[in-house]
Amino acid sequence: MNILNNLFVTTLPLVPKSIVRRFANKYIAGDSLEDAVNVTKQLNDRGIMTTIDVLGEGVFSRQDAVNAKNECLEVLEAIDKNRLNANHSLKPTSLGLGIDYEFCLQNLTEIVKKANKLGQFVRIDMEDSPYTTRTLNLYEDVYKKYQNCGVVIQSYMRRSMDDVAELAKMKTNFRLCKGIYIEPVEIAYKGKQEVRDNYLKLLRLMFENNCYVGIATHDDYLIEGAYKMIAGLNKQKHEYEFQMLLGVRDKLRNKIVKDGHRMRIYVPFGVHWYKYSIRRFKENPNMAGYAFKALFTGGR
């Protein structure tokens, strides 16, 4: 079945969007901000925090970037109005990083400034390698004025140890993940274990520099490694949190919460759900297998 699943993943673009959507529902809160607010309320009731993300990336028109910025501002207002235990994640290319650095910086600054006024935090997601340096520069430029923001480090990137060593000097609030994009071997580790090993090295460096870390993973090996490190370094609950994606490994998520750790769920919403869902399917060919069956059974 694995071969079939993998085959299906490579032919996903041919699958009718209606079928992809049926399976994507697991990973997205819905089309509207109200859907994200409702999912957040449910998770908050269970003692779980969220980070709300408006789906969309790779915007190449200034008007689209301004629209995306306005949507981000609406997220902040909704978090405030509904008194949610949530923050906001955003992708720099949706704010125009691919168009012009200064324009994107202006959009991002407006968002972080508003979040600052409302007592909220903004996470700047990390995209593929053409944007890594510019994303870190954006973070550093915004941070000079407003400290209620943080970045993401990808453990598959060979440069990440140097980046963390530099960013730790500013007591950066990190999210640490493996990385989701396909990168060339010259700049990225490719082996499963080397990505894991680098993840734990980076986590140690962050902790030793007393930086706050969002430990973003569903990998048992890394979660176990993080547990050991937290105990070994005597880290307190307010110095880190675990982070997971909506709809992924809920049982493990509940166990981590039960063990007494802080947990934040990434809650994406919006009409641009397709690209995000395809990425999630690629991570989990079993899921794609179900969709494959649905293709022939009409999803029944």
Cα(160)–Cα(57) distance, rounded to whole angstroms? Answer: 23
- 50, containing H or E segment: strand 49-54
- Please, what is the minimum distance in Å from the beta carbon of residue 63 to ligand FDA? 25
Residue ranges binding ligand FDA (CB under 6 A): 125-126, 152, 154, 177-181, 216-219, 243-245, 248-249, 266, 280, 283-284, 287
Rank residues 207 and 266 by Cβ distance to ligand FDA and give the closer one: 266
- Please, what is the minimum distance in Å from the beta carbon of residue 202 to ligand FDA? 13
Q: How far is CA 176 from CA 24, 164, 198, 207, 213, in A?
A: 24, 10, 11, 11, 7
Cα(226)–Cα(151) distance, rounded to whole angstroms? Answer: 19
Other C-beta atoms lying within 10 Å of the C-beta of residue 102 = 10
Rank residues 33 and 127 by Cβ distance to ligand FDA and give the closer one: 127
Rank residues 63 and 193 by Cβ distance to ligand FDA and give the closer one: 193
Cα(194)–Cα(201) distance, rounded to whole angstroms? Answer: 10
Rank residues 193 and 234 by Cβ distance to ligand FDA and give the closer one: 193
- Please, what is the minimum distance in Å from the beta carbon of residue 180 to ligand FDA? 4
Q: Burial code of 145-175, b = ≥16 C-beta within 10 A, e = fewer?
A: ebebbbbbbbbbbeebeebbeebbeeebbbb
The answer to whether residues 111 and 138 touch, using CB atoms and an 8 Å cutoff, is: no
Give me the sign of the Cα torsion angle 140, 151, 130, 21: negative
**Helices and strands of the chain, counted as H and E runs:** 12, 8
Cα(164)–Cα(182) distance, rounded to whole angstroms? Answer: 21
Residue 126 in tokens: 């990390």
Residue 261 in tokens: 């750790």
Strand, coil or helix: 246: coil
Rank residues 30 and 285 by Cβ distance to ligand FDA and give the closer one: 285
- Please, what is the minimum distance in Å from the beta carbon of residue 155 to ligand FDA? 8
- Please, what is the minimum distance in Å from the beta carbon of residue 265 to ligand FDA? 7
Rank residues 30 and 247 by Cβ distance to ligand FDA and give the closer one: 247
Q: Which residues are catalytic?
A: 125, 175
